[in-house]
Amino acid sequence: MSTLFTDACFNKKRSRTPVWMMRQAGRYLPEYRALKEHYDFLTMCKTPELAAKVTLMPIKPVNPDAAILFSDILIVLPPMGININFNPGPVISNPVKNASDIFALNNFSPRSELAFVSSAIKTARSQLSSNKALIGFCGAPLTIGAYLTKTDSKGQNFTELRSLFYSDKRAAHRLMDTLVKIQSGFLIEQIKAGVNGVQIFDTWAGSMPRDIIKEFVIPKVATIIKNVKEFIRNENSDKDVPVIYYIKDAVHVFDLLHLTGADVISIDEKVSIKYALTHIKGNMAIQGNLDSSILFASKEIITKEVSSILSTVPAGRGHIFNLGHGILPETPVENAAFMISEVKRLSKLLHD
């Protein structure tokens, strides 16, 4: 299925820039907060009718070009044998502490253990209009590994995983490779269920040193993407499905990102798209990168900042407009809707 979103991901010609927002199905929406009065977060993720309902919730009020499946990157932890709760941040009662814990992780089958995700995708896809894409996702091995090993509930230094990378490389590779296998299978199941694109979230990879990223991030993400693309070529050949790789704080490794084989690189707001396009090699499309805080500013400022991003992308280069990170819970819905309508209006002028 071709949509504005998939055309932009594959650098194809299109009439305007597609736009959606990371974390668009969530707490800034009053309808979501109302539903949350009745169900806890994990119940919503695991009940296909509820997950599909929340997936589609932003479509009417903000009208993005794509919906992202309502779920969480940490949904893979329970079948691995890790107990997780959200309060609202993730709380893990039995984090992985050593090599034997890593070797004991359950290498499960996403097809049966995460069947509720496929079911939510089928329902959401059937209710979404055909000009809008449905995006599936998973967490990248490093970002999942960072939560899985975290024993200190405070802070985001992830020293447990970081020290494992130096102290026990064999166990660290085993952990990343277990996650590569699980996430490849999980994305393939989502594609089988009908998503039109997938995003791999690597929120914490950019906080690691370059050598760690070279050894434990790029080759692992590249293997996931290779597995997914192989599946598409062999069994899904009539419709290619774009893969987006989101990495935050990654300026020190921009020159390595093409090695992942992703169709699209999604960047945060700390650098300009112009800078990213000159330092990221290859001809991948780019996604991003409005600062989420701009959605708290006046309409004039939102228009100015949207226009400034759109004008830096050269004609013909695939661009998917998005925020640099997730939408903030306090964001006025009206401003999010205005930003999206401005991306549509202004990019149409540029493409004409």
Positions touching ligand CP3 (CB under 6 A) are: 22-27, 36, 41, 68, 70-74, 86, 88-90, 137, 201, 203, 326
- In angstroms, what is the minimal distance from the CB of 101 to ligand CP3? 21
Output 87 or 237, the one with its CB closest to ligand CP3.
Answer: 87
- In angstroms, what is the minimal distance from the CB of 50 to ligand CP3? 12
Dihedral of CA atoms 263, 269, 272, 273 in degrees, nearest 10, equals: 20
Output 23 or 317, the one with its CB closest to ligand CP3.
Answer: 23
- In angstroms, what is the minimal distance from the CB of 235 to ligand CP3? 25
- In angstroms, what is the minimal distance from the CB of 208 to ligand CP3? 15
Output 205 or 346, the one with its CB closest to ligand CP3.
Answer: 205
Rounded Cα gap, residues 126 and 164, in angstroms:
44
Beta strand pairing status for 243-247 and 197-202?
Answer: parallel
Centroid of chain to Cα 84: 20
Helix locations, the chain, DSSP H: 4-9, 30-36, 41-46, 48-56, 59-62, 77-80, 99-103, 110-113, 115-127, 141-148, 159-167, 169-193, 210-216, 218-235, 273-279, 299-312, 333-351
Output 86 or 103, the one with its CB closest to ligand CP3.
Answer: 86
Output 45 or 175, the one with its CB closest to ligand CP3.
Answer: 45
Output 319 or 325, the one with its CB closest to ligand CP3.
Answer: 325
Output 204 or 216, the one with its CB closest to ligand CP3.
Answer: 204
Question: Contact, 204 vs 142, CB < 8 A?
Answer: yes
- In angstroms, what is the minimal distance from the CB of 105 to ligand CP3? 19
Rounded Cα gap, residues 313 and 58, in angstroms:
26
Question: Contact, 110 vs 189, CB < 8 A?
Answer: yes
Rounded Cα gap, residues 22 and 294, in angstroms:
15
How many other C-beta atoms are found inside a 10 Å radius of the C-beta of residue 326?
Answer: 17
Cα distances (angstroms) measured from residue 285 to each of 78, 82, 251, 288: 34, 36, 17, 10
Nearest residue to 330 via CA among 301, 296, 305: 296
- In angstroms, what is the minimal distance from the CB of 45 to ligand CP3? 8
- In angstroms, what is the minimal distance from the CB of 35 to ligand CP3? 9
Rounded Cα gap, residues 313 and 346, in angstroms:
13
Output 161 or 346, the one with its CB closest to ligand CP3.
Answer: 161
- In angstroms, what is the minimal distance from the CB of 27 to ligand CP3? 5
Main-chain phi, psi angles of 348, to 5 degrees: -65, -40
CA-based torsion, 271, 272, 278, 283: positive or negative: positive
Output 89 or 314, the one with its CB closest to ligand CP3.
Answer: 89
Residues 6+ apart with CB under 8 A from 233: none
- In angstroms, what is the minimal distance from the CB of 89 to ligand CP3? 4
Q: What is the amino acid identity at position 121?
A: I
Output 267 or 346, the one with its CB closest to ligand CP3.
Answer: 267
Centroid of chain to Cα 199: 4
- In angstroms, what is the minimal distance from the CB of 57 to ligand CP3? 9
